[in-house]
Amino acid sequence: MDSKQDKSRGLQVIVYLFFIVYALFTVQVILFKTIPITSIFEADTALRSVNLIPFHTIYGFFTDESIGSDRMVTNVLGNIGIFIPLGLAAAYIGKSRTWGFKVAFVFSVSMAFEIIQYIFALGSSDIDDILLNCAGGVIGIALYKALLKITPSGNQLLAAIIGFFLLAGIGGGVVTGVVDRSLLPFADQEMEYIDENKQIMTGVDESTADLFGDLTAAQTDAITLYNNPKYSMLKKTAETTEPGQENSTIPVGASTKIIIRHLASDQNKIISTYEEGTISSLVSIVESSPAAPTVRVWLDGDSKQAARMLLVNVLK
């Protein structure tokens, strides 16, 4: 009896160790697939977008000819596959729980990932990712039910779960290595920053900006900047910002120089493309962007009441 119990405990320890490794790998792939963990508080590399329309992104994968089949398969099947182990683990740990509770747990974890991505500007937050993750979780729960039926003992069930984690780990590692080796924990995570057309920024020192925050509104004669607490260590105070004030309204005019920096990520590269903008293009960007772009503001040297120059970061 003791030997069977010891074997069972040993198998349980292995299952939990595999789950911990899986959890760490999942955090790496989901949260830091775009920028490394060291860039969380680097405002210039912040990447944020959001989609709240169900099936919008999934539909685009199948209908947009500019999206290659490899990218479609990677995103759709990848989002499903990476949550299958979570569904299996949720079913095993919550043996006495209902199907609804287990699915709700998977949904909550996926939702938490998307919220963290948005808060820390780690990439795209998408409701379709949650739907695909939940589909993977349901498959994992169903897989546990199937293993439960075909294994005559608890130890054999644990051995089957361990076998699944081994196969999933090996298969997932191989696929990840082929698709994007930088996502592997042992791979080189150094980011490469590429600037295109940066001559527009000649003579501009970003550290000298008077204000930095989220561009929440733009009109022909003024912009509204939200003093995001996340950037509090990066902002400078100015006469346009009262202590504790959340929003600053800053006049702009024909003499205001506007530079738009388009940010795009490509595996372990962040590509910045610069262009000169206008007030009308700025209004269009604010109206069409699902999330507020960040902006640095240089105020007029004398009055400090109007914008002399703006640098707007737009996620492609």
Q: Give the tens place of pLDDT for each residue, 35-82.
A: 555 554 454 455 566 778 898 888 877 876 656 666 677 788 889 999
Look at 107 and 289; give whichever has higher pLDDT.
107
Length of the chain: 316
User: For residues 72 and 128, what is the distance between their CA atoms, to the nearest angstrom?
Assistant: 13
Residues 19 and 168 in one domain: yes
Residues 239 and 102 in one domain: no
Range of 260's domain?
192-315
Of the candidates 300, 296, 301, the one whose C-alpha atom is nearest the C-alpha of residue 313 is 296
DSSP 239-263: TT--TT-SEEEEE--TT-EEEEEEE
User: For residues 152 and 155, what is the distance between their CA atoms, to the nearest angstrom?
Assistant: 9
Look at 8 and 311; give whichever has higher pLDDT.
311
pLDDT digits (tens, 9 = 90+) for 162-185: 999 999 888 877 776 666 665 555
Which range is least confidently modeled, 204-208, 236-240, 286-290, 302-306? 236-240
Residues 201 and 256 in one domain: yes
Residues 73 and 166 in one domain: yes
For residue 211, the model assigns a pLDDT of 87
Residues 213 and 144 in one domain: no
Q: How confident is the model at residue 290 (pLDDT cuts 50, 70, 90)?
A: confident
Residues 67 and 91 in one domain: yes
The residue among 148, 164, 183 that closes a domain is 183
Q: Are strands 257-266 and 307-315 parallel, antiparallel or unpaired?
A: parallel
For residue 89, the model assigns a pLDDT of 93
Q: Which amino acid makes up residue 16?
A: Y
Residues 32 and 68 in one domain: yes
The residue among 155, 183, 211 that closes a domain is 183
For residue 130, the model assigns a pLDDT of 95
User: For residues 48 and 111, what is the distance between their CA atoms, to the nearest angstrom?
Assistant: 16
pLDDT digits (tens, 9 = 90+) for 134-153: 999 999 999 999 999 999 88
CA torsion 22-27-32-33 (nearest 10°) is 50
**Domains in the chain, number:** 2
Residues 244 and 158 in one domain: no
Residue 16 in tokens: 């939990």
Residues 26 and 173 in one domain: yes
Average pLDDT, the chain: 81
